[in-house]
Amino acid sequence: MLGTSINGGVVLRIVLAALVFAILLVLPLFGPQLESPQSLAEHRQALSVSTVESGNGSTRFESWGDRRNPSIILIHSFNGFLETWQPNIDALVKAGYHVVAYDLFGRGLSDRPLRPLTLKVFHEQISTLRTHLDIQTPMHLVGASFGAVIAADYALNHPEQVRSLVFSGPAGWPNTDDNTGKLIAMPYLADMLFFYAGKPLLQSTIDTYLLDDREATWTSAYWKVYYQYAGVARSALSTLRHSPVLDYRHGWKKLGKTEIPTLFIWGRQDSSFPLSHTKEAEKLIPQAKIVALDSAEHWVNIDQASEANAAMIEFINAQR
């Protein structure tokens, strides 16, 4: 009887373990259905933030300066949020521009759509803001990291709406030693990884974007607030899968065949998309001007805000 009881207990534990394992395997498939956008909407309402609606949800934005002035649209990075432009906004407004910054879908206080996050989805946010703010003249688009890819692609699709492009620490340049692309191509494995460990992974990358620890303190604090809402990791994976975050060379090549004035601002210590990519940038986009700043990581617009601001303003002023 004792042996039977022991065997029965072992079988029960095996069954329970198998059941738990099965649940853990299945949960990522139902992750989107388990999300509740209510807390995000409540947070926006409590803060009285400005939003604009489109087919894919609410976009949180802010604008500064006289709307009669030329407009600069600030597009943050893959893992960023509106506030990453704080060190740049005042300088741009004082230089005589109407400045607009917003949260990309899946980031900050903007909605996390359940559809694939393609470049077309991100284009929609710019078009919606342009209409909502009644911007009638061509815009200056300033993109950081993946925001540079969005800006470039929007310009290629709407050249009549864009006066110039500024790319700060641009993404879209493949690194030969980066296996991220192979990982996200694995359907179920990547889903499990981002479902269970997505936020820690994203947190670990944001810690590498800045050299200045003082700047890293406030950016990390914002990140922890905004990324407590559901859909962050899912949105990150969806963007990696459906947008050319890691390799936009086809787009850069097309941009090089246009006459759109273009400025690259690169941090010499950028570990995400290293300065060595400037060689290919010069080749693919011959009209581009490239500025490299010392003591600056991936978020060069924060690490060296004064120098980045000066470079942006000088370049954009020349296009007025």
**Domain CATH code at residue 213:** 3.40.50.1820
Number of independent structural domains in the chain: 1
- Domain holding 127, by residue range, is 38-317
Say what the pLDDT of residue 30 is: 45
The span from the CA of 218 to the CA of 105, in Å, is 22
Phi, psi of 163 (to 5 degrees): -90, -40
Residue 24 lies in a domain: no
pTM exceeding 0.85:
yes
The encoded tokens of residue 217 equal: 């303190």
Residue 181 has a pLDDT of 66
Q: Is residue 78 part of a domain?
A: yes
- pLDDT tens string 57-88: 999 999 999 999 999 999 999 999 999 999 99
User: Is 60 within 8 Å of 103 (Cβ atoms)?
Assistant: yes
Confidence of residue 6 (pLDDT cuts 50, 70, 90): low
Main-chain dihedrals φ then ψ at residue 291, nearest 5 degrees: -120, 125
Whether the pLDDT of residue 206 is over 90: the answer is no
pLDDT at position 15, please? 44
Does any domain span residue 21?
A: no
Residue 231: inside a domain: yes
Structure tokens at 311: 């470079």
* Pick from 129, 140, 106, 134: nearest CA to 52: 129
Is 147 part of any domain?
Answer: yes
DSSP 288: -
Edge-to-edge strands, sheet with 71-75: 50-54, 57-64, 98-102, 71-75, 139-144, 162-168, 262-267, 289-293
Helix (H) or strand (E) holding 87, with range, is helix 86-94
Q: What is the pLDDT of residues 259-268, one digit of tens each?
A: 999 999 999 9
Structural domain includes residue 26: no
State pLDDT tens for residues 102-138: 999 999 999 999 999 999 999 999 999 999 999 999 9
Work out the mean pLDDT of the chain and round it to a whole number. 89
Q: Is residue 14 situated within a structural domain?
A: no
On whether residue 211 sits in a domain, the answer given is yes
